[in-house]
Amino acid sequence: MLPSRGHVGHFHPCPPRTSAPPETSDQRPAGETKDTGRRTAETMESRTATFHRGFVPWQGLLLTASLLTFWSPSTTAQPAIESVPYNVLEGGNVLLRLYNVTVQPSGYKWYSGVTSTLNKMIVAYSRATNESTTGDAYSGRETIYPNGSLLIQNVTQDDPTFYTIQLILDNGVTQELSGEFRVYSRVSQPTIEASSTNVKEGSSVDLKCLSNDPEITISWIFKSQSLKLTDRMKVNAEGNTLTINPVKTEDAGEYKCEVSNGVSSSLSDPFTLSVTASSDKPAKPDTTPTKASTVPTIAIMILALAVLILICALAYTMVFSKSGGAQPEGEGEVKPTEPAEAEPGPEAEPEE
């Protein structure tokens, strides 16, 4: 018996099966030895290694898989529209891409908004004639492609955010899909406003990032790097106010804030915060002699030394002049004294 067409590629010839489990007796066809039956069993066991052995024979698994493949209904992806990109900068381009179309329609019609009314039609395309026809909502910036996708150039804030496509099938049935995108303006440059530009260590300061743009995110930058918040810093829920309390000298430096709406961003001019240390004292006058005052000081010292030398010379001259220019002989000399000899007294007369 030949397999049905639905089983092509999944049909596997196998011996007839019954609902009863295989016999476990040692019965085998005539002429077959026990060893031959063992080798056959070992071969069958090795082929079912990736399945649950001991429950369903391998032939049954293959047949069951074939039946499931044949009877399982196929799931087909539905047509959809993708906006590329979804967030568009004003003045840019956006593509409404149609995809997952399995049955080619005979034509397409694009409408502005979520309804397919005649006055909202932008452009229609016929696959039979390969021609497009514009409608009342056509602005000259739309281009339709043979695959049904729509390109919109130079988008503005006045453009609708929703668009609808109508797929015209061969049997006259239509199918409608809608897509959307968002248009953003270019953000303006923000500015930083501070409660004080020169604060004392230990006090607090508030830095505010001012911007008039809606739906923006704000980030803070310190010394050309993303600011890492410490336990002394906090940012409010809107992100536009940075509070530092208490301020330390390490907080001094250049701050910036950046605003972004997802498609454009802008950076503020730098703001410099100065911090005065709390331990600072009034500076003492600088007593270090300058180069201009060093020369007179040295001259005065030399003059004083010369006067001292002159005074000493005059004193010596005066003492020398009093002595007549020469020292008297014997004066000034200290000679060692010799013991005086005892004068002989009158000789004692001998006693009679």
Q: Give the model's pLDDT for residue 220.
A: 97
DSSP 8-state code for residue 5: G
| E strand or H helix that includes residue 150 | strand 150-152
- Please report the sign of the dihedral spanned by the C-alpha atoms of residue 163, residue 168, residue 169, residue 171: positive
Q: What is the pLDDT of residues 334-349, one digit of tens each?
A: 455 555 554 555 554 5
Give per-residue pLDDT as tens, 287-316: 555 455 556 778 888 888 888 888 888 877
> 330-345 burial, b if ≥16 CB within 10 A, otherwise e?
eeeeeeeeeeeeeeee
Nearest to 276 by CA among 167, 203, 341, 194: 203
Instruction: For the chain, list residues with pLDDT below 50.
Output: 1-74, 281-286, 290, 328, 331-334, 342, 348, 350, 352
pLDDT of residue 45: 40
Task: Write down the pLDDT at residue 139.
Answer: 94
Q: How far apart are CA 159 and CA 90, in angstroms?
A: 10
pLDDT at 209: 97
| pTM reported for the whole predicted model | 0.52
| pLDDT score of 280 | 54
* Pair 106, 146: CB distance under 8 Å: no
Residue with tokens 């006693």: 351
Instruction: Round to whole Å and give the CA distance between 316 and 320.
Output: 6
Tell me what pLDDT residue 28 has.
44
